[in-house]
Amino acid sequence: MKLIRDTWLIYERSMYLTLHNPVWVVLGLGQPLVLLLFFGPILNSVAVSSAGFPPGGAFNVFVPGLLIQIALFGAAFVGFGLVAELRYGVVERMRVTPLSRAAMLLGRSLRDVVILVAQGLLLVLVALPFGLRIDPAGFVVSLGLLALVGLVMAPISYSLALMLKSEDALAPLLNGISLPLLLLSGILLPMALAPDWLQALAKLDPLSYAVTAIRALFNGRFADPAVATGVGLMAVLAALAIVAGRRAFARAAA
Amino acid sequence: MTELMVETHGLRRTFKGRGKTVEAVRGVDLRVAPGEIFGFLGPNGAGKTTTLRMLATLIEPTEGTALVAGADLRREPGRVRERIGYVAQGGGSDPGMTGRGELVIQGRLFGLARKEAERRAVEVLEALDLVEAADRTVGTYSGGMRRRLDIGIGMIHRPRLLFLDEPTTGLDPQARAHLWDEIRRLRDGGATIFLTTHYLEEADALCDSLAIIDHGLIVAEGTPIELKRAIAGDVVTLGLNGSTDGALNLLRSAPRVREAELSDGTVRLYVEDGDLALPELLRLLDGAGMPPSSISLHRPSLDDVFLRQTGRSLRDEAA
């Protein structure tokens, strides 16, 4: 009970701060929208004349990928906000209260997930006129999967922020992790088009399973084993990330 | 007698960094009585903040035990956290939040219902003269206002014990005096205040009792008056030209001189009846052909206490 109350308190405070300085929310959404508008139409022409493109229109391949991209980049960089909070002394101040350590992580992550889902909804609404055809039930589950990806990335980002305590150290590390994750996940183009060695490498990228799952969901193929694999894998990783993140918050800072 | 608010035994903390260990705090015994302003005085790096952070449950002691606000620091850190307030040197408020917002959330973190926290926030805002700034973001506050808000955040849940780490560092004299008044008012309201400082004037004017820490060890403790009295007599400071060794030996054997020491080219004498000793000392040095270039007499200050205990002047460091 206390955990839920504390999580809500931290969520409320974080959300207040985010909504009063929404630069990151807008920037985070800007890139996928640009890709959708300037890259989507080209992809559409390619898809028509290319074998090996997965079923569904180009936008049914592309938009799910963009959703995962929002989750990846949106949540991967939340650690920056925490570095600032560390510098302001906010984290230390709250450590000397009865506040649950897990709530410090969960409250912030919940804020990140809510923003993510809102961005996902907006992106899909914008994509509909381009010819995205979407299975409504599948879309709802997709948003859940999106939230799970956020719950993997945000705690990792927070843990790294608590460890490194500096934007200068955090930026190259997060970029170094997220760019290969992004390219290997088949977000921009399906990995089916890639040479074999690259496809083998992509199998090591957990996000590629999330992307495959979300594409199946968009087309309403719930029975596709990729759905269970993607959702299951993300759930396990999210649990691990939350455990690690909680520990990072609990560990007394030197 | 009532239970002590803070009692530590052999509190110790070492930090391990690349290949070397640093002993920041090397066995500290402290006793803080309820209802007093306790000052923890020492130069930068002496171990003040490390001790404070241990007592506030932020870092674990390497060794030693402590009772803080009636709870065992090592076994019940959660209970300690419920009973204390802690204000870090840099504060702990977010520039994007309003003062009121930070106070309300802090109250709720301590379990107050929203309505209750809002009511309490108003009380604190009034007490700290922040009502007009309550709904502005903290980023727009002056240094003094911000420090007052941080203290307000630390006391929102009416803790019995409030830790303040260097509360007035960086404030102009007026803001500092204002803050001293606030701290006294908190004490008069029944709270115990544990503050660190490297300002001697602050320790002297504000604190009911003091401990001086240097290189991780307590070197003196008592009330400011006791500490100063411990340096019995007066202090004479002499500037000398030429050979100081000869003069030092001569001065040591002079009547009324209890102790003589040399630091940075000036001689400090701890003497009885300074007003009588002064002319005698002058005659003595003149007779030996070593007239002093300067001479002064003063009552012992906390700086003398510090200098006597550590061989260094705190004033030089603070400057």
Q: Is B38 found in the same domain as B131? A: yes
Amino acid in the structure at residue B184: R
Cβ–Cβ contact A92 with B under 8 A: yes
In sign, the C-alpha dihedral spanning A59, A62, A65, A69 is negative
| DSSP annotation string for A138-202 | HHHHHHHHHHHHHHHHHHHHHHHHHHH--HHHHHHHHHHHHHHHHHHTTSSS-GGGS-HHHHHHH
Give domain status of residue B1, yes or no.
no
Put simply, the answer to whether B86 touches A96 (Cβ < 8 Å) is yes
* Conformation bin of residue B57: beta by default, left when phi > 0, alpha when psi is -120 to 50: left
Give domain status of residue B273, yes or no.
yes
pLDDT the model gives residue A50: 66
d(CA A243, nearest CA chain B) in Å: 21
Q: Is B207 found in the same domain as B105? A: yes
Give domain status of residue B97, yes or no.
yes
- In a mutational test of the A interface, the residue from B73, B87, B109 whose CB has the highest number of chain A CBs within 10 Å is B109
Q: Is B37 found in the same domain as B12? A: yes
Lowest mean pLDDT of A65-74, A190-199, B4-13, name the range.
A190-199
Range of the domain at A122: 2-43+57-187+196-250
Cβ–Cβ contact A165 with B under 8 A: no
Give domain status of residue A52, yes or no.
no
CA distance B124 to B85: 14
Contact A64, A214 (CB under 8 A): yes
Cβ–Cβ contact B15 with A under 8 A: yes
Task: Say how many CB pairs under 8 Å bridge A and B.
Answer: 69
Q: Is B144 found in the same domain as B100? A: yes
pLDDT in tens, A21-48: 878 778 777 777 887 888 778 777 777 6
User: Residues B195, B196, B198, B203: what is their CA dihedral angle, to the nearest 10 degrees?
Assistant: 30
Lowest mean pLDDT of A16-25, A26-35, B91-100, B206-215, name the range.
A26-35
Of the candidates A72, A49, A246, which has an alpha carbon nearest to the alpha carbon of residue A155?
A246
In sign, the C-alpha dihedral spanning B98, B104, B109, B113 is negative
Contact B158, B122 (CB under 8 A): no
Helix, coil or strand: residue A238: helix
Interface predicted TM-score of the whole assembly (ipTM), two decimals: 0.88
User: Residues B284, B285, B287, B288: what is their CA dihedral angle, to the nearest 10 degrees?
Assistant: 120
Find the CATH number of the domain harbouring B245: 3.30.70.100
Model confidence at A55, pLDDT cuts 50, 70, 90, reads low
Give domain status of residue A50, yes or no.
no
CA distance B68 to B296: 44
Q: Is B207 found in the same domain as B115? A: yes
Phi and psi, residue B139, nearest 5°: -60, -20
Q: How many domains does chain B have?
A: 2
Cβ–Cβ contact A33 with B under 8 A: no
Rounded to 10 deg, the angle between the A206-218 and A58-76 helix axes is 140
Candidates B78, B86, B90; nearest CB to A98: B78
Predicted model pTM: 0.85
Model confidence at A254, pLDDT cuts 50, 70, 90, reads very low
Q: Is B208 found in the same domain as B243? A: no
Average pLDDT over residues A114-143: 90
Cβ–Cβ contact A9 with B under 8 A: yes
Cross-strand pairs, A43 = none
Mean residue pLDDT of chain B comes to: 89
Give domain status of residue A204, yes or no.
yes
Give domain status of residue B308, yes or no.
no
Give domain status of residue A172, yes or no.
yes
HSE at residue B245, side-chain half, CA atoms within 13 A, is 0
Cβ–Cβ contact A23 with B under 8 A: no
DSSP B138: G
Range of the domain at B202: 6-223
pLDDT in tens, A78-109: 999 999 999 999 999 999 999 999 999 999 99
Q: Is B89 found in the same domain as B131? A: yes
Cβ–Cβ contact B17 with A under 8 A: no
Q: Is B206 found in the same domain as B245? A: no
* Closest CA in chain A for residue B153: A93
Q: Is B286 found in the same domain as B148? A: no
Model confidence at B232, pLDDT cuts 50, 70, 90, reads low
Residues 6+ apart with CB under 8 A from A247: none
In sign, the C-alpha dihedral spanning B303, B304, B309, B315 is positive
Alpha helix positions (H), B239-288:
244-252, 274-287
Give domain status of residue A83, yes or no.
yes
Contact B258, B233 (CB under 8 A): yes
pLDDT the model gives residue B318: 46
Position with higher pLDDT, B134 vs A49: B134
Model confidence at B2, pLDDT cuts 50, 70, 90, reads low
Give domain status of residue A51, yes or no.
no
Of the candidates B49, B36, B52, which has an alpha carbon nearest to the alpha carbon of residue B206?
B36
Contact B184, B151 (CB under 8 A): no
SS3 content of chain B, % helix, strand, coil (to 5): 40, 30, 35
pLDDT the model gives residue B39: 96
Q: What angle do CA A38, A43, A44 make, to 5 degrees?
A: 105
Average pLDDT over residues A148-156: 96
Find the CATH number of the domain harbouring B207: 3.40.50.300
Cβ–Cβ contact B77 with A under 8 A: no
pLDDT in tens, B19-72: 888 899 999 999 999 999 999 998 888 899 999 999 999 999 999 999 999 999
Q: Is B103 found in the same domain as B21? A: yes
d(CA B220, nearest CA chain A) in Å: 27
Q: What are the distances in angstroms from CA B213 to CA A63, B97, B198, B301? A: 63, 36, 10, 17
Q: Is B244 found in the same domain as B214? A: no
Taking 90 as the threshold, does the pLDDT of residue B319 lie above it?
no
CA distance A102 to B112: 20
Contact B51, B28 (CB under 8 A): yes
Q: How many domains does chain A have?
A: 1
d(CA B136, nearest CA chain A) in Å: 13
Give domain status of residue B139, yes or no.
yes
CA distance A180 to A122: 26
Q: Is B281 found in the same domain as B169? A: no
Cβ–Cβ contact A252 with B under 8 A: yes
CA distance A141 to A120: 12
Residue B191, both tokens: 């709270």
Give domain status of residue B81, yes or no.
yes
Chain B residues touching residue A98 (CB < 8 angstroms): 78, 81-82, 109-111
Taking 80 as the threshold, does the pLDDT of residue A239 lie above it?
yes
Residues 6+ apart with CB under 8 A from B132: none
Chain B residues touching residue A253 (CB < 8 angstroms): 58-59
* Conformation bin of residue A55: beta by default, left when phi > 0, alpha when psi is -120 to 50: beta
Share of chain B above pLDDT 70, in %: 97
Position with higher pLDDT, B208 vs A21: B208
- In a mutational test of the A interface, the residue from B83, B84, B108, B114 whose CB has the highest number of chain A CBs within 10 Å is B108
* Closest CA in chain B for residue A11: B105
Average pLDDT over residues A57-63: 82
Give domain status of residue B315, yes or no.
no
Give domain status of residue B252, yes or no.
yes
* Closest CA in chain A for residue B113: A5
Of the candidates A157, A153, A159, which has an alpha carbon nearest to the alpha carbon of residue A248?
A159
